[in-house]
Amino acid sequence: MQIRAQSVLESGGTQRWAVHVLGTPLDVTDAKQGEPYHESEQRFRAFVAASSDRMYRRNPDWRVMRQLDGRGILPDTPQPIEAWVDRCLHADDQARVKAAGERAIRGRTMFEPEHRVRQASGNLGWIHSRAVPILREKGRIMEWLGTASDVTARKQAEAALRRSEERLRAVANLGPDFLWSSDPDGRATWFSERRYAYMGQSEIEVLCHGWQEVIHPDDREPAMARLRSVVEQGRVYGHDYRSRSIDGSYRWFLVRAGSVHDDDGRVSQCHGAVTDIDDLRRL
């Protein structure tokens, strides 16, 4: 959900005010000119109720949580609560969230961090918080209106993916082969650590086509042509070539590669393994 307040100058010179919620403007001109503010707030609540977000209101300097409708995920705060950040946020996230709030106050801009919070169940969860300042005349902040989206499931999935990648790297570095991945255009996106040690290049050098430079000049173009065939034809292939080591000598390697396809059948990634076969080639 996105919310913003905006001054609109009509053709006759009359200034009107709108609060945009979910892309729909709510006219709050009358509220700014004396109509009870709760009427425009009720309209805002109606839009929030139609979403899965939680609504909250904070005072101008962020010290007080005036109201939070937790909707079963976050603890409700029907009465104003001071130091809500200190009470409810994970200790490691408090300084970062407070700094984001201070920047939003200074610039009168949207506040939009992700942070951990104590949920109504007592468990820790993740929230994507968004709030905008509601301004009085001359730009003074009247209060902050915000929404909080539960992103716990996404954060858990991201953490699980990181753990899976860490396990893959650990396993990849145990074997004698060099493992690698590339995008459909042949640009390397990952190599196992043993590859860097053998070539004597940094990760940045290798990923910026440095891995091609260590292939023997006589073998480079055939090797690249085979890789292109993986992308163009989606087939598994095997090919041997000479590669330069950190000491400048060349050894023979066998590379085997295959492709991964997306839902439309296009190659989205290529993966391969490089095996040292120098002793066999020299028999």
The architecture of the domain spanning 173-281 is: 2-Layer Sandwich (3.30)
Q: Using an 8 Å Cβ cutoff, are 125 and 117 in contact?
A: yes
Asked if the model's pLDDT at residue 66 lies above 80, the reply is yes
Residue 94 pairs in a beta bridge with none
Residues 6+ apart with CB under 8 A from 78: 67
Q: What tokens appear for 157 in the block? A: 């999935």
Q: How far apart are CA 232 and CA 178, in angstroms?
A: 23
Nearest to 56 by CA among 39, 74, 43: 74
| Per-residue pLDDT tens over the stretch 227-272 | 787 777 767 778 899 999 889 999 999 999 888 888 888 888 888 8
Q: Using an 8 Å Cβ cutoff, are 145 and 44 in contact?
A: yes
**Sequence spans of domains, the chain:** 3-154, 173-281
Q: Using an 8 Å Cβ cutoff, are 75 and 120 in contact?
A: yes
Q: Using an 8 Å Cβ cutoff, are 223 and 241 in contact?
A: yes
What is the chain's mean pLDDT, rounded?
81
To the question of pTM greater than 0.75 for the whole model, the response is no
Q: How far apart are CA 191 and CA 82, in angstroms?
A: 51
Residue 56 pairs in a beta bridge with 68, 146
Segment 65-94 mean pLDDT: 84
Asked if the model's pLDDT at residue 2 lies above 50, the reply is no
Q: How far apart are CA 47 and CA 24, in angstroms?
A: 9
3-154 and 173-281, same CATH topology: yes
Asked if the model's pLDDT at residue 158 lies above 90, the reply is yes
Asked if the model's pLDDT at residue 165 lies above 50, the reply is yes
Topology of domain 3-154, CATH = Beta-Lactamase (3.30.450)
What pLDDT is attached to residue 37? 56
Asked if the model's pLDDT at residue 95 lies above 70, the reply is yes
Segment 209-237 mean pLDDT: 82
Where residue 6 falls (left for φ over 0; alpha for ψ -120 to 50; beta otherwise) is beta
